[in-house]
Structure 1
Amino acid sequence: MRNPFDLDENSVDGDSEPPTDLEFEVDVRPHQTDDGERAILQDEEHHPSDLKERFIGTIDQGTTSTRFIIFDCTGVPIAKYQTEFRQIHEHPGWHEQDPYELVESVYICIEEAMKSFLALGHSRSDIEAIGITSQRETALVWDWETGEPLHNAITWTDTRTVNLVRELKEKPGAEDLVNICGLPLSTYPSSVTLRWMLDNLPDVRSAYDDGRAAFGTVDSWLIYNLNGGPQNKRLVTDVTNASRTMFMNLETLQYDDRLLNFFDIDRTKIRLPEILPSADREGFGEIYEGPLEGTPITSCLGDQAAALVGHCAFTPGSAKNTYGTGCFLLYNVGEKPVISKHGLLGTVGFQLGRDRKPVYALEGSVAVAGSGVSFLMNNMGFFRDSRKVSDLAATVPDSGGCVFVTAFSGLFAPYWIDDAQGTIWGITHHTQRGHIARATMEAACFQTKAILDAMEMDSGKKLTELAVDGGMSNSDICMQTQADIIQIPVERPAMHETTALGAAIAAAFAIGVWKDFSDLKHMNRANRATFEPNITPKESTHMYKRWSKAVEMSRGWMRDQAGLDDDVE
């Protein structure tokens, strides 16, 4: 797959439709390894030749697109295919997806990637296992008997529940939830979405009352369908996805009645997925039909947890930041959960087997990263290619005093300001498009700094470097800006498919390819790019103070628009 910031020589600023997100680079050709992947492939000392002949397939189902990638067991992508699916926005703040399209996109990607794989001389039986990684909090409810979805999937970026969240925060016991599940009340977790569906969608309510409703996040929906749907009725999830529902106890890794009762969920009326480790040889079943019929599914992780594994961040104190549709920074805190006191999320990082302890993480979530660049392209007419937005940002030395608070869905960690809206401050006659482009990228970098500061306060340790991946990380100017703002080195691997690689690593663990984390110490280490800070700490501090002031000024705009401010007539 070509770099999302690489300019296609045939790309023009004409009438062709722009990509809807930085992830939307659809590769329909047999894959050729790039220089970074070739360097990994040639590292005979660390990757014995037999690992090159063992293959794992990964389904990577993101917020805006799906891909299927076949890795050899040295971590090199051999074949891959990516496709988009529709985003449904019927009302402001609403974001839905067609459940059938999610499944269909997976089958399309498997079929097309397999064509490339077979064309390279391999056979179907060479693929030993399948791993799955997916968007996390996106919620679905379907009929357990027929397998039919009862509504569209409601995504993690959807903000229709903002008023419900406000009501839930007033309920007795609301302040205790975070100590059980690690998550604060917000529009983010799928528990709140399920509560809204039960209260507002008659079909969902009827199925719930009749005991026919099955609930799950995208991973559960995909695994259910890939296993044959109502024929086999496999309803499972893993600890990383379950930890994003607000239904799972971080300590026990099981559903907690205190949490279910808070949201008025009766577990006798709704089927909840069985919670499994992220790597499991039997629990996730096998592909029911298609080119990979009979191939076992042996791993399942939420996308950000998969990226943590893909960076081989197995030791406490290691961290990664993924710049996709949103921006997600995970920090490994070891084998005991840490409940944040500074606005972060406590979550499960991974559990690579039933005989292994779970590894926990602190997480900071930024709602808008690459989707901010997509906003410039799709809504504001800033070119038709994400590379050009990056080049545009490079035409100016700084943001020209502009600060863009990209609060399209409120602000997530560590702020948790539900009623903020997107605002641009500092516009003058001097302002050019380059300044806006630069301010858009800086927004993700500033929020990353806020998260790192909170992590330092929670953990008592200062990060010494930050590993990065995701579409926007391919922009050198963005990553240099990130290093300048956080004042520590930023490391970017040469092979960019880190999330999918994490699911492949977990799947390989389940079938015994790897025995210990130390076996992976050289995985995806070749040809990394390092960005060192180029400005002084004083300059960085000044930039961050202006950002913090802009954040405070963005508060309340959504509340005011909705007529909820008592001071507004």
Structure 2
Amino acid sequence: MPKVILAIDQGTTGTTVAMMDTGGNLLASVNREFPQRYPKPGWVEHNPEDIWMSVLKGIRGIFKRGSAKPADVIAIGITNQRETALLWDTDSGSSLNNAIVWQCRRTTEFCDNLKRSGAEGLVRQKTGLVLDPYFSASKYRWLLDNTPGIKSKVRKGRVAAGTIDSFLVWQLTAGEQHVTDVSNASRTSLMDIDRGDWDEDLGALFGVPLSILPEIAPSSGVLGHTRSVPGLPDGIPIAGMAGDQQSALFGQACFHTGEAKCTFGTGSFILTNTGKQRIQSKAGLLTTVAWQLKTGGPLYYALEGGAFVCGAAVQWLRDELQIIRNAADIEVLAGTVSDSNGVEFVPALTGLGAPHWDPDARGLLCGLTRGSNRGHIARATLDAMALQNADILIAMERDLGKRLKPIRVDGGASANQLLMQLQADYMGRKIIRPKVVETTVAGACFLAGLGVGVWNSTADITRSWQIDREFKVGLSAAGRRERLASWQRAIARARTGEGADG
């Protein structure tokens, strides 16, 4: 049996475990969901033990589904939901509280107070991020303030803090390695992205001792080896790691400056590779580290814009409104109408992300008449998913001062043909879907393969990337301007104090 690379894609609602052969072909994948926890309005938590069990179930499942055996695994790559923060006891390995998920807004007041103190300039200058509860630092602060007995444990050196990637490496290595990669570290608001290291001023600002944070390592290269993992032999190198959006950028083979991808998941995220140049956004976007491929090697950067709710809007229609039975049903239902008939849905169910950054915005369904039906609401939902990304693209091109190349798309919703056509129409440029849309998983495998010498360069990886379908623009420029204007009016109404009487 040929050797394989195992990928662990730890996402917001579930964990996917997949395997790739050394030719770059994805062989099999399994997904295991875990519970979401909403203790208060705007709060989102995960039980870290639920996450770890989903990983172990995925590992068991992949070897039942695939023909490879655990002994065939030559490397493991990890990719993960970013910003989600947790603390665990270094003696027992047990979590000290539930993890605070990236969507959680509980630290809004804390972040607002820092803004009023004038701290946002420092945060943006050092991290490339806005001062927002989305990122990990304020979540660590909340956990440190609200976990019983934590101060004593910190003094005794028994507390480890990390994002999900760090927690998984700790578990996979039986506590031998406390490490993160530069892409995940760049999402915490605690790393200076010019130096690629934790920053004392930021630690002091957020009240997070740097001693509890993991070591920062490159995204490719051996980070540790498996030890005492059920279903896996000891000694497998963990050789690649990146946050999910950076991993998708890598999996889309966007290795050159100006190449961009849009991933459709729980949220949607556009990243553009800016190479070794860090571009500071003036249009409400984020500057983030894309990857570093070897120790001492250069940092590569990206501009990023993310919408917090994308696929989650379809889940809301399914689970709360119950107007569809399955997520895939939305394409058929939306296709029963020619347009949304004036209905607008702003899915600000957890606030608005880029380029607005309004945590107090709330979801809005408007423009309803006696003639509105389920199809119009479904169509308005697909419109919203595409229009959010059009907003981000406009802001991105404003920062770059140039028009971007065709956008590569991936993620589960990229299989929705109607949504992809709407995306091309509202962005006003060609959309390219690859044959392998599980690019987050692919990126983790590629990074791990590079780390153990399966591939020698990104050029080797590029040769395995193939196009499935292109979606060309089918809407006139005038029609696009009209649709975007209606969307902006709805956005204004969803934002606190803006157009509330409209």
Query: TM tier, shorter chain?
Result: over 0.9
Q: Alignment partner of 2:351: what SS? A: coil
CA contact (8 A) 1:98 1:152 kept: yes
- The alignment status of 1:56 with 2:5, answered yes or no, reads yes
Q: Alignment partner of 2:225: what SS? A: coil
Of all paired residues, the percent bearing the same amino acid is 39
CA contact (8 A) 1:301 1:503 kept: yes
Give the one of 95, 100, 104 matched to 2:49: 100
Deviation at 1:383, TM superposition (A): 2.2
Structure 2 residue aligned with 1:34: none
Structure 2 residue aligned with 1:246: 189
Matched to 2:220, the amino acid is: A
Deviation at 1:54, TM superposition (A): 3.4
Give the one of 101, 112, 118 matched to 2:61: 112
Distance 1:137 1:493 in 2: 27
CA contact (8 A) 1:421 1:557 kept: no
1:433-468 CA distance string (max 9 Å, x none): 111111112112111111111111111121121100
Aligned runs of 1:285-304 on 2, under 5 Å? 285-294=225-234, 295-304=236-245
Q: Alignment partner of 2:221: what SS? A: coil
Distance 1:158 1:206 in 2: 27
CA contact (8 A) 2:137 2:208 kept: no
Distance 2:318 2:288 in 1: 33
Change (3 A) 1:210 1:125: closer
- The alignment status of 1:472 with 2:413, answered yes or no, reads yes
Structure 2 residue aligned with 1:68: 17
Distance 1:413 1:448 in 2: 9
Distance 1:305 1:286 in 2: 24
Q: 492-501 vs 346-355, which deviates more? A: 346-355
Q: Alignment partner of 1:386: what SS? A: coil
Distance 2:75 2:55 in 1: 16
Aligned runs of 1:211-222 on 2, under 5 Å? 211-222=157-168
- The alignment status of 1:194 with 2:134, answered yes or no, reads no
Structure 2 residue aligned with 1:163: 109
Deviation at 1:79, TM superposition (A): 2.3
CA contact (8 A) 2:154 2:212 kept: no
Q: Alignment partner of 1:429: what SS? A: coil
Structure 2 residue aligned with 1:393: 334
Matched to 1:186, the amino acid is: D
Structure 2 residue aligned with 1:405: 346
Q: Alignment partner of 1:202: what SS? A: coil
Matched to 1:324, the amino acid is: G
Deviation at 1:302, TM superposition (A): 0.4
Structure 2 residue aligned with 1:150: 96
Give the one of 178, 181, 184 matched to 1:235: 178
Q: Alignment partner of 2:126: what SS? A: helix
Deviation at 1:206, TM superposition (A): 4.5
CA contact (8 A) 1:366 1:412 kept: yes
- The alignment status of 1:356 with 2:297, answered yes or no, reads yes
Distance 2:150 2:426 in 1: 46
- The alignment status of 1:181 with 2:124, answered yes or no, reads no
Structure 2 residue aligned with 1:86: 35
Structure 1 residue aligned with 2:385: 444
CA contact (8 A) 1:151 1:204 kept: no
Distance 1:557 1:87 in 2: 31
Matched to 1:545, the amino acid is: A
Aligned residues, how many? 498
Distance 2:343 2:41 in 1: 26
Deviation at 1:424, TM superposition (A): 1.2
In structure 1, list runs of 5 or more residues that go unmatched.
1-51, 561-569
Q: Alignment partner of 1:515: what SS? A: coil
Give the one of 440, 443, 448 matched to 1:499: 440
Give the one of 480, 483, 487 matched to 1:543: 483
Deviation at 1:384, TM superposition (A): 1.6
Structure 2 residue aligned with 1:552: 492
Q: Alignment partner of 2:460: what SS? A: helix
TM-score (norm 1): 0.85
Structure 2 residue aligned with 1:23: none
Q: Which has the higher strand share?
A: 2
Q: 108-117 vs 506-515, which deviates more? A: 108-117
TM-score (norm 2): 0.96
CA contact (8 A) 2:260 2:270 kept: yes
Matched to 2:25, the amino acid is: V
Aligned runs of 1:260-275 on 2, under 5 Å? 260-267=203-210, 270-275=211-216
Distance 2:134 2:69 in 1: 42
Q: 108-117 vs 468-477, which deviates more? A: 108-117
Matched to 1:220, the amino acid is: S
- The alignment status of 1:138 with 2:84, answered yes or no, reads yes
Structure 2 residue aligned with 1:459: 400
Matched to 1:218, the amino acid is: I
Q: Alignment partner of 2:491: what SS? A: helix
- The alignment status of 1:259 with 2:202, answered yes or no, reads yes
Distance 1:511 1:219 in 2: 19
In structure 2, list runs of 5 or more residues that go unmatched.
none
Structure 2 residue aligned with 1:279: 220
Deviation at 1:557, TM superposition (A): 7.1
CA contact (8 A) 2:70 2:233 kept: no
1:135-186 CA distance string (max 9 Å, x none): 0100001122222211001100011112112111112433221011011111
CA contact (8 A) 1:137 1:241 kept: yes
Q: Alignment partner of 1:169: what SS? A: helix
Distance 1:417 1:449 in 2: 18
Distance 2:385 2:330 in 1: 15
Q: 73-82 vs 323-332, which deviates more? A: 73-82
